[in-house]
Amino acid sequence: MKAIVSDACRFGIVLDDGRSSGIGWLKTLVVVTVAIGLLIGVNNAAAQAPPVTSGVQFWVHAGAGVSENADGVSLWADQSGNFLDATAVAGNEPTFIASEPAIGGLPTLRFDGNMDLLDIVPRIFPDNQSELTVFAVSRSDQSDNASLFSMRTGSNILQLDTQGGVPGTGNTDLGRSRFIVRNAADGGAGVPQTTNNSLGPYGLAEGDTNPSYFVWAGTLSANGTEKTAVVSLNGVDGNPVTNDFQTTDTTITSGAQQIGGVNCCNQLNWKGDIAEIIIYNRALDSNDFQSVNSHLMTKYSIPEPSSFSLLFLAALGWLGLFRKR
């Protein structure tokens, strides 16, 4: 606080004890007001940054680095310092929403589920990256297979998405969050893979007209050639899935990199909002993971998991199905 008052004094305001002038109290009031304003500004700036900075490889949020043209968002600048900016092909720009009430008036990007897509051309990771963590603050406005973030070329896939299905059939997997990891170099067409880790449903369920924002996360960890993938939503983990990828020189991070879709398939494009994405070059441990998750939930006014979810977590703990970090 002393430093902030000092900053206030640098604006030409001098503290007065009130004895030398009848307006001393007014000067003091001005100093305190400026100091409070500076303190709020410092706190707001600090609230933007992730609480865990070690290993941040890529970071975008709608509160900074958004450039627009006549059609929408043309560039979403990487805030990690690695210059991994996301750009849109002309005509496929998402829409910038300056204030979204569902997340406390913070800004977001809106994707139409048709052609809106952002490409990250510079490589986020080398081909043989074996561990990583992806966070995304997002809302899904559809109950079908759609990709929030992807690295995909052919059968090489790393994808944070929603589970597909056939609407109207009562499919309970429809709209569930999912984290797919697949390495075609080990066994041909999509084998091995780690896909049976869906959690939800948290997209737009059948009959739902008010989808919610969630903190989505996918964690990939490695133990030798074995890879484990875990999907999480608001800090609640799905079941971890482990498979032996046979080679340590995996190619799962070599694919084309997109926000809001997949380069191969327009039908997998995201319909909904994406406010922030943070990607780490490591599998975060439990403390770091929960720190980032709590930060994002607080920042975007996302409610904590219900008591039912907490009981579900406790049950998972007893069953020994918690993530291995």
Q: Give dist(CA 251, CA 83) in Å, integer.
A: 22
- Residue with structure tokens 């052919």? 154
The dihedrals phi and psi of 148, each to the nearest 5 degrees, come to: -85, -50
Domain ranges of the chain: 2-46, 56-319
- Non-local (6+) Cβ contacts of 39 within 8 A are 1, 4
Model pLDDT for residues 1-41, shown as the tens digit of each residue:
444 434 334 333 333 344 444 445 455 444 444 444 444 44
What is the crossing angle of helices 2-9 and 24-48, to 10°? 120
Is-contact 247 185, C-beta < 8 A? yes
Strands of the sheet containing 256-259, edge to edge, are 66-69, 72-76, 86-87, 118-120, 256-259, 146-153, 156-162, 177-182, 193-194
Q: Give dist(CA 193, CA 243) in Å, integer.
A: 7
- DSSP for 78-90 reads -SSSS---EE--T
Query: What string of pLDDT tens digits covers the 325 residues of the chain?
Result: 444 434 334 333 333 344 444 445 455 444 444 444 444 443 454 348 899 999 999 999 999 999 999 999 999 999 999 999 999 999 999 999 999 999 999 999 999 988 899 999 999 998 778 899 999 999 988 767 788 999 887 667 888 988 776 555 555 666 778 888 877 655 443 345 555 566 665 555 445 556 789 999 999 998 887 888 899 999 988 888 888 776 655 677 777 899 998 877 766 889 999 999 999 999 999 999 999 999 999 999 998 765 444 444 444 443 434 444 4
Q: Give dist(CA 281, CA 124) in Å, integer.
A: 9
Evaluated on CA atoms 56, 62, 66, 72, the torsion sign reads positive
Q: Give dist(CA 136, CA 219) in Å, integer.
A: 12
Three-class SS of residue 139? strand
Does domain 56-319 fall under CATH 3.40.50.300? My reply is no
Model pLDDT for residues 235-278, shown as the tens digit of each residue:
988 888 888 776 655 677 777 899 998 877 766 889 999 999 99
Is-contact 303 152, C-beta < 8 A? no
pTM beyond 0.85: the answer is no
Q: Give dist(CA 105, CA 63) in Å, integer.
A: 11
